[in-house]
Amino acid sequence: MSTVLDVKIPRMQRDGFALKEIEFQVEAGYLTALLGMNGAGKTTLLSAISGLLPLPEEAEVMIGGYSLRENEKEAKECMGFVFDDSPFDEGMSPLLTGQMYGPYYRNWDMTKYIAYLERFEIPKKRAIRKLSKGMKMKFQLAFALSHGATFLIMDEPAASLDPVFRDEFMEVLSEILEDEECGILLSSQLVSELEAKADYTMMLYQGEQMFFDSTENILDKFLLVRGRYELFPYMKSRILGERLSEYTAEGLILNNGDPVRLDLECVRPTMEDLMYYIKRGVIRKGMV
């Protein structure tokens, strides 16, 4: 297992918005999800990692073992990108894009690129703007894979795809990860879907890294207890935060192995639940 991305950003400010104490890694063969609410700083972070925003002096981003600041060229050789808003000229065809921009990469392989286009059933000579959203994503993926990227950065790639196409896209990603040569950092609002597929999760809130760990570990750290509200006072000392409805109540507790009352239903929270409690200030930095 090798680290394909190592990010350390103590502080970075942009237009009155700040990223604070960001530190995480992406390993080859694993999918790391970058989650957060709107305005949490996901796009800013991805822009910084991909070199679209200048990094502050104190920050360090290593891609494939190369520093983005000192060896930008080598670092970018290792990075592939798939953005919701494609950076390529939409008037060009996928074939022409490959011919035009591919050769800038040292390891560019045109044969491989054409093979990927065929495999993903992307019309080679049709203008990119005429491709469907899903095809555009796959085209970017084909481009990234054809220059031997070991790290893929994806910003909301599945946001506007229909469920069938989304599944297909995720399947392709799983295949890429199987080889254990490439690691993926994927930001998305589709929390529930990513929860099932991501090996690691990085949660951002107000520009701050709330937690970064394996998805299983994060979810195992907490428990949701549900039941009648009258029973809650007995657990008051353990409940970190609660969500009340007219008849039932739900509370978040730390899963530290202590028994829970049998008359309360006890379930593992989802990432969406955790996001709710982060927003409420119940889950704070350092708790996971």
Partner 1 sequence: MEKGRSVGSYFLFVVREGLYRLKTELFGWRGFVMILIGGYMILDTFEGINESDTLMFQGIAALWVVLLFPPRMGKLLYLLPFSKKERVRYLGTYSVSYLMFLVMLFLLVGIVAFFASGYSIFLWMRHFLLCTFPFLMLYSGTVIDSLSIAVRRSYPNSGWFFSTRGWWQQKPDPVEEIREDCTGTVNATKKNMMSAEEKENAKKQTRFTICLVLCTIIPAIQCCVSYTYMELCKRAPWTLYLFTVLAYISAAIGLYLYWSRISDEMNKKGSVGKGDDVCSL
Interface residues with partner 1 (CB under 8 A)?
10-14, 16-18, 20, 38-43, 47-48, 50-59, 72-74, 76-77, 79, 81, 85-92, 96, 100-111, 129, 147, 206-208
> Residue 286 CB: number of other CB atoms within 10 A?
7
Cα separation, 7 vs 25, in Å, equals 6
Rounded to a whole number of angstroms, the minimum distance from the CB of residue 280 to partner 1 is 16
For residue 201, give Cα distances in angstroms to 216, 236, 274: 9, 29, 12
Rounded to a whole number of angstroms, the minimum distance from the CB of residue 25 to partner 1 is 21
- Axis-axis angle for helices 133-146, 163-178 (nearest 10): 10
Q: Which is nearer to partner 1, 189 or 214 (CB)?
A: 189
| Tokens coding 74 | 């080598």
Rounded to a whole number of angstroms, the minimum distance from the CB of residue 138 to partner 1 is 18
Cα separation, 140 vs 95, in Å, equals 12
Q: Which is nearer to partner 1, 4 or 225 (CB)?
A: 4
Q: Which is nearer to partner 1, 204 or 219 (CB)?
A: 204
Region for 20 from its dihedrals, namely left if φ exceeds 0, alpha if ψ lies in -120 to 50, beta otherwise? beta
Rounded to a whole number of angstroms, the minimum distance from the CB of residue 70 to partner 1 is 10
Rounded to a whole number of angstroms, the minimum distance from the CB of residue 74 to partner 1 is 8
Cα separation, 210 vs 286, in Å, equals 7
Region for 21 from its dihedrals, namely left if φ exceeds 0, alpha if ψ lies in -120 to 50, beta otherwise? left
Q: Which is nearer to partner 1, 103 or 216 (CB)?
A: 103
Q: Indicate the DSSP class of residue 186.
A: E
Q: Which amino acid, 108?
A: W
Q: Which is nearer to partner 1, 96 or 235 (CB)?
A: 96
Rounded to a whole number of angstroms, the minimum distance from the CB of residue 152 to partner 1 is 12
Q: Which is nearer to partner 1, 5 or 249 (CB)?
A: 5
Rounded to a whole number of angstroms, the minimum distance from the CB of residue 254 to partner 1 is 26
Q: Which is nearer to partner 1, 111 or 245 (CB)?
A: 111
On whether the CB atoms of residues 42 and 206 are closer than 8 A, the answer is no
On whether the CB atoms of residues 139 and 172 are closer than 8 A, the answer is no
